[in-house]
Structure formats: C-alpha cells, structure tokens
Structure 1
Amino acid sequence: MKTNIGITEKNRDAVAVELAKLLADEFVLYTKTRNAHWNVTGDNFHANHIFFEAQYKQLDEVIDSVAERMRKIGHFAPATVKTYLELTHLTEYSERTNDGLGYMADLLRDHESIIEFLRGNIVPFAEKYKDYGTSDFITGLMETHEEMAWMIRSYFR
C-alpha cells in the first residue's frame, strides 16, 4: 500500500537515502564497539569491558530505531554488511592499540563523525524535505551520540 504521510515521494526518497547512510554508520560503529568489548586489554580491562558493553547495547537500540524510521516513511532498510560498507562514512578498521584508550580514541572519532552528519541533516530534513518527524528523530540521535561521545571523552585527561 502506498505511503501517504504528507511528505512527497521524492522527499521521502531523499530522506531515506540519508537514513540508509546513517544506518550503515550506526552498524559499523556498533560492530567496532563490539570489537572493543571483546578484544580490549590492559589494566582497566574489566571496567572497559563493561563500558563497551553498555555502549554497544545502546547502539543496538539506535540501529533498530533508524531502520524503523525508514519503514515509517515507506522505505525498506538496507540489511547486508556489503551494503553497509558501501554506504558508511566510517572506516571499518583503524590502526590503534587494543587498550581501552586506543579503542576509545577510535570510537570517539566515529561518534563525532556521526554527530556532524546528523547535525548537517536536521535543517534540510525539516526545511527542504518537509519531514519534521525525521528531523526531530535525528536531533534526538545526535543528542544520544553527544552523550556517548562525552562518556568516552571523559576517559582522556
């Protein structure tokens, strides 16, 4: 059945393209955070292991919400690793150490990249594409990533 939510098909298509990129970024960040959880080493292993677990669980919820937002505006969400790697703005792997700070520096860069991507789409989604719901949605996601980045950044002196 056709999606009739007061946003033109052309505008919904444009928003969906950007949400697909966001979904890819979120999936790659989730995977990298899982990697940190599994492979972190060092003096603060246990605390870092628990910290990364909390973060990947939060990202799992974010991924689901982005995919569901795509469905709400009438599009299917991409769902293959190959597609995510084609769409993502992030780097799948970065050279770093396996200690907590090595992972955190890498993950912090990714959160900040997502924050910039989200911030750059808030106004266009609302004003250019007349999708105020998705604009509001990504504003909330931006705030989530800002908090997650703050938590990571707090490990650095």
Structure 2
Amino acid sequence: MKVNIGINDNNRQAVAHELSKLLADEYVLYTKTRHAHWNVEGPDFYDKHKFFESQYEQLDTFIDDIAERIRAIGHYAPASLSNFLKMTHLTEEIRSENSSKGFIAELLTDHESIIMNLRGLANTFAGDYGDLGTSDFVTGLMEEHEKMAWFLRAHLR
C-alpha cells in the first residue's frame, strides 16, 4: 500500500537511507558497549560492568526506535551485520587492555561522533526533506546521546 504522509517518495527514501546509516552506527556502538560490559577489568570492575550495562540497554532502545521510524516512513530497516559494517561511520575497536578508562574514552568518542551527525541530520530532515517528524525524532535522540556522553565524560575526570 502506498505511504501517504505528506513527504514525497524521493524524500522518504533519502530519509530512510540516512536513518539506516544511523541505525548501523547505533548497532556498532551497542556492540562496543556490550564488549566493554563483558570485558572490563580492574579495581572498578563491578561499578563499570553495571554502568556499561545501563548504557547498552539504552542503546538497544534507540536501535529499535530507529528501525521502527524507518518502517513508519514506508521502508525496510537493514538488519545484517555486514550491511551495518558497510554503512557505519564508526570503527570496530582493537585494544590491548580492558581498562575502564580505555573503554570509556573510546565510547565517548563514538557518542560525540553520533551527536554531531544527529545535529546535522535534524536540520537536513526538516529543511531539505520536509520531514519534521524525523527531525524531531533525531533531535530527541541527540539529547539522549548528549546525556550518555556526559556520563562517560564524568568518569574520565
């Protein structure tokens, strides 16, 4: 059935494409946060183990919300690891030690990268594609990432 939500097909396709790249970024960040949760070591193990758990649970919600937004505008969400790795702006991690500070610094960099991307997408979705709903959605997501980044940054002081 044709999607009739006041956004033309080309604009919905462009928005879905950008959201798919965002979904890939979120999935990679989720995986890296899970990795930190499973593998952190040191005297602060338990505290950071629980902290990383709270962060990956929040990212899991973001992933589902983005996929559902892609579906709401009439497109299918990508769902393969190979596609995510092709679309992401982030890199997979390679580390020689599993300290909490190392994990936190890397995750903070990724959150900040996503925040900058979201800031641009909010303007693009509203201005270029006439999709105020998705613009509002990514603005809310940006605010959540800003809070998560603040929590990470506070651990590095």
- TM-score with structure 1 setting the length: 0.98
Partner residue in 1 for 2:20: 20
Deviation at 1:93, TM superposition (A): 1.5
The answer to whether the aligner puts 1:86 opposite 2:86 as a matched pair is yes
CA contact (8 A) 1:37 1:53 kept: yes
| Contact 1:94/1:106 (<8 A) preserved | no
Shift of 1:113: 0.4
> Could you tell me how far 1:124 is from its partner in structure 2?
1.0
Aligned to 1:97: 97
CA distance in 1, matches of 2:50, 2:62: 19
Deviation readout 1:15-37 (Å, 9 max, x if unpaired): 11100000000000000000000
CA contact (8 A) 1:96 1:106 kept: no
Question: Partners in 2 of 1:3 and 1:128 — Cα distance?
Answer: 19
Rounded Cα–Cα distance in structure 1 between residues aligned with 2:120 and 2:11: 17
> In the aligned structure 1, how far is the partner of 2:39 from the partner of 2:9?
44
Which stretch of structure 1 is more off in the superposition, 97-106 or 78-87? 97-106
The structural deviation recorded for 1:62 is 0.3
- Segment of structure 1 superposing worse, 130-139 or 87-96: 87-96
**TM-score w.r.t. length of structure 2:** 0.98
Q: Which runs of 4+ in 1 moved over 4 A?
A: none
Give secondary structure in 2 for the equivalent of 1:89. Answer: coil
Question: Deviation per CA, 1:92-144, whole angstroms, max 9, x where unpaired?
Answer: 12436311111000100000000010001111100110000000000000000
Unmatched 5+ stretches in structure 2 = none
- The CA deviation string for residues 57-81 of structure 1, in whole angstroms up to 9 with x for no partner, is 0000000000000000000000000
Cα distance in 2 between the residues matched to 1:99 and 1:59? 21
Q: Distance in 2 between matches of 1:26 and 1:145?
A: 10
Give the gaps of 5 or more residues in structure 1.
none
Partner of 2:140: 140
Q: Distance in 2 between matches of 1:12 and 1:4?
A: 11
Give the whole-Å Cα distance in 1 for the aligned partners of 2:94 and 2:129: 35
Letter in 2 for 1:108: L
Partner of 1:154: 154
Q: Which amino acid aligns with 1:3?
A: V
Distance 1:8 1:65 in 2: 22
**Aligned equivalent of 2:54:** 54
Whole-Å separation in 2 of the counterparts to 1:94 and 1:51: 21
Residues 40, 99 of structure 2: 8 Å contact kept: yes
